[in-house]
Every structure is written in C-alpha cells, then in structure tokens.
C-alpha cells in the first residue's frame, strides 16, 4: 500500500498500544541510586514541551483535547483520525513559590484538534521563556483532509471556527492570558511549501518548538514542513534548514518508504549552533532518529548524535550534557514492532559521543511529551503526552521532576 505524506504528520497511527515494563532500575547519571521522581503537576491535557523560567517556575504547553464532537463546527480527517477543532489548548504554570497556586492555566483558549476521546491532540506544543516573556507555538493543522482532498486553514477552517486562525502560529503570551501573534508559519508553508522540492507536496505545517535566540530572532521546528525556520522580530520567516526524506525499509514489505525527517525540538548550544531532534515519519524505525547540529547562518547540518527512536524534545544541562527525550522507545508503530508505550531519556556527553540511557524505574515514562533541564540539573518531563480527558473528566497528563542524583529532594506530591 502507498503511505502518503499525511501519514508522516506528527503523532500518527493512534493504535491502542498495550503498555509493558521498560527499562530496569539502575544507576542515574552523576551519582548512584535510582533517580528520584516526583509528580509536580497533574490533570493536564496532552502535555507537550516544557520550559523553565529564570525564577524556577515551570511552564508546560497543553495540546488540549480538541472540540466536542457533538457540537464542534469544524471537523476533518487527520493523521490522528477523525478530529474536531476546539479552543482547549492551554499553557500551565507550575509555580516554584508556595504562596501561589502550585498549578495554574495561565493561557487558555488556544486552537486544538483531536479525535472524540481527546487523545493525541494537535495544539500548543513548543514553549520557551526568555527575559520574562513566554513564547508558544500553536501546532497544526497538519494537512487536514475531507473526502480525500486537502482542506486549507485559510479560508475554510477559519470560516468554520475562528480559533483555527491560531493553528500554525508563533505566539507571545501577554498579561492576563492574552496572546499576540509573532508570525504565521502556516501562511509561509502555504505560500512557499519548501519541502515540496524534496517530494512532500502537501501543505503541511505543524510548528512544534521554538527557541528564542540572540537579537530578537526565533528558531522554529516545523514538524509538518520538515524545516527549521528563522523568524525575525517583525514576523518575517525564512528557511534555515530543510531536512530531506530518507529512503527507509518498509516493515510491511514492498519498496522503501521516503521517510520524512519530522523535526521536533530546537535548542541553542553554547557554541552558537542549533541542535534539533527528530521524531522521524512512518515507519518510525527503532534507532532511526538523530540529533542534528545546525549552523544557524548557513543552515548546513551534521549529525551530532544518533540511535534514538522517535525523539520528541531535547535540552542542554549546564555542564554541556544534552538530554534527548523519546516519546516511544520501541517505535510509535503498533505491534508487532512497538508493543510498549514507554518513553526514554538519553544523555549525550558534552561535545558529542555515545548516548547513554538514563535508567529510570520501569513504567516511569508513558509517551512523554517534552523535557527541560532546571538550574540544578534536575529534569522536568511532561508525561502521558498523548492523553486527555473527555467531558468533565480531567486529563491524565503530568509533569515530572526527575532528580538524577537520587538525592531524594521531594517536591510537592499531589
């Protein structure tokens, strides 16, 4: 069978995967003992990337739970299944300070689409804090279809539900939860479709991460467009790097698949380079994902580390260790290839080298959505990143604080 680019859209093939035990407990990096894991936020809807503010507050983008399938005005076929749009996307702040609420949705009303059970939503995804300002990418719309034909955000989806105008944008959060648009990445994809030249003709934008660099420039990973984009202060957009497809054996037989790169995370290194993680597209090969080192001026990229499976995000520790998060360590593809939904974290030594798995108690990470390193080397990881509540039921999403030293610094337990 022919797998189209629709299948390469981000978190695909929602196959009810059975969970199974993953890594055995062992030694964490940097001091013996099993890392100490605390749940610091709960009841999140499809939590994705996380960011740590200079004051220690932790922010997490929630992709939401889409719209109510009984009442939504805008529904379509997506790689995640038949989905409806709603305004359930959000950003939650987990406060460092006891005199504030531990956990509060500080931005709400962002664009989200999801199947009827609310899982595997596409919505707010990338998040970054710089200079007291909060930036977020609203992902989507990832090549929506009707009757086998592409449906465009403009004018169709926006006419059906005005919140759809937020799909495919880079936003700045303002006071009292309002947002303003910095750049329209979907419009850039619609006008230019850079990855058409490498064989991906669909208009497909899904900005999933943002890094705020020097001089007011932003770098955005567009998982749908297979690009890293540079955004100026005024919202002008240009391609930094376009990642080509990679011919990959099809596990179901037949000719090789032109696998999309699907970049998922972008961070800046101390060397001035950008570091980009990739999910990979179908067939999500085990060990097939890389971290690229990108020259932000020329866009030239090299492989910095490899051997990951479905990498979802990455972040540097202060000592130069690069932590890489896998959403599903044995492949997002369903059984028999990837029966478990356990995620994983790898530590790449400073300057590159062989990644080392961070040993966590079995079952710690279930389809985690994002990672950020705190001031003291602790890791903040969103967990159950493809789960949401339906109706009045709260979501299953969490944020974990993982102390690699195993020194048992206990945070708040909910």
Q: For the beta carbon of residue 59, count every other beta carbon within 10 angstroms.
A: 24
- Are the CB atoms for 395 and 88 separated by under 8 Å? no
DSSP designation for 337 = T
Tell me what pLDDT residue 405 has. 82
Q: Report which secondary-structure segment, H or E, holds 149.
A: strand 149-150
**How high is the pLDDT of residue 101?**
62
Residue closest to 328 by CA, chosen among 391, 392, 385, 248? 385
Instruction: Give which of 239, 59, 75 is closest to 137, Cα–Cα.
Output: 59
Spans of all domains in the chain: 5-403
* Among the listed residues 229, 219, 206, the one whose alpha carbon sits nearest the alpha carbon of residue 111: 206
Q: pLDDT tens digit string along 140-158?
A: 999 999 999 999 999 999 9
- Chunk the chain into consecutive blocks of 10 residues (it has 414) and report each block's average pLDDT, rounded to whole numbers: 33 29 36 81 98 95 97 96 97 83 92 97 97 94 94 97 98 90 97 95 96 94 97 96 96 94 97 97 95 97 97 97 96 84 96 95 95 96 95 94 67 37
pTM assigned to the model:
0.89
From 282, 122, 266, select the one nearest 206 (Cα to Cα).
122
- Answer CATH for 5-403 from 3.90.226.10, 3.90.75.20, 1.10.10.10, 2.120.10.30: 2.120.10.30
* 74 and 165 Cβ atoms separated by less than 8 Å: no
Instruction: Provide the mean pLDDT of the chain.
Output: 89
The reported pLDDT for the residue numbered 323 is 98
């Amino acid at each position: 069978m022919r797998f189209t680019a629709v299948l390469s859209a981000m978190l695909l093939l929602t196959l009810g995967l059975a969970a199974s035990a993953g890594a055995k407990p062992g030694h964490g990096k940097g001091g013996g003992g099993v890392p100490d894991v605390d749940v610091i936020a709960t009841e999140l809807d499809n939590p994705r990337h996380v960011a740590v503010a200079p004051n220690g507050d932790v922010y997490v983008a929630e992709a939401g739970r889409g719209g109510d399938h009984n009442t939504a005005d805008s529904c379509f076929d997506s790689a995640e299944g038949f989905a409806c749009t709603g305004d359930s996307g959000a950003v939650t702040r987990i406060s460092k300070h006891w005199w504030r609420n531990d956990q509060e949705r500080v931005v709400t009303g962002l664009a989200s689409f999801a199947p009827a059970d609310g899982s595997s939503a596409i919505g707010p995804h990338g998040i970054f804090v710089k200079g007291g300002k909060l930036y977020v990418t609203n992902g989507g719309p990832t090549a929506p279809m009707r009757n086998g034909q592409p449906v465009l955000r403009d004018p169709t989806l926006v006419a059906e539900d005005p919140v759809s105008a937020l799909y495919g944008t880079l936003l700045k959060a303002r006071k009292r939860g309002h947002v303003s648009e910095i750049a329209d990445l979907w419009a850039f994809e619609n006008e230019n479709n850079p990855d058409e030249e490498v064989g991906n003709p669909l208009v497909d934008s899904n900005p999933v991460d943002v890094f705020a660099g020097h001089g007011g420039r932003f770098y955005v990973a567009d998982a749908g467009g297979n690009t890293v984009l540079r955004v100026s202060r005024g919202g002008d957009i240009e391609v930094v790097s376009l990642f080509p497809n990679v011919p990959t054996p099809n596990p179901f037989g037949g000719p090789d698949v032109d696998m999309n790169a699907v970049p998922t995370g972008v961070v800046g290194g101390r060397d001035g380079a950008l570091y980009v993680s990739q999910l990979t597209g179908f067939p999500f090969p085990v060990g097939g994902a890389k971290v690229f080192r990108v020259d932000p001026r020329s866009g030239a990229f090299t492989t910095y580390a490899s051997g990951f499976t479905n990498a979802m995000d990455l972040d540097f520790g202060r000592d130069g260790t690069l932590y890489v998060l896998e959403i599903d360590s044995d492949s997002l593809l369903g059984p028999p290839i990837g029966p478990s939904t356990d995620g994983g974290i790898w530590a790449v030594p400073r300057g590159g080298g062989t990644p080392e798995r961070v040993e966590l108690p079995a079952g710690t990470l279930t389809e985690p959505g994002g990672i950020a390193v705190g001031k003291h080397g602790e890791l903040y990881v969103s967990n159950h990143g493809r789960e949401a509540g339906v109706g009045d039921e709260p979501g299953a999403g969490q944020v974990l604080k993982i102390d690699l030293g195993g020194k048992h610094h206990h945070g708040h337990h909910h």
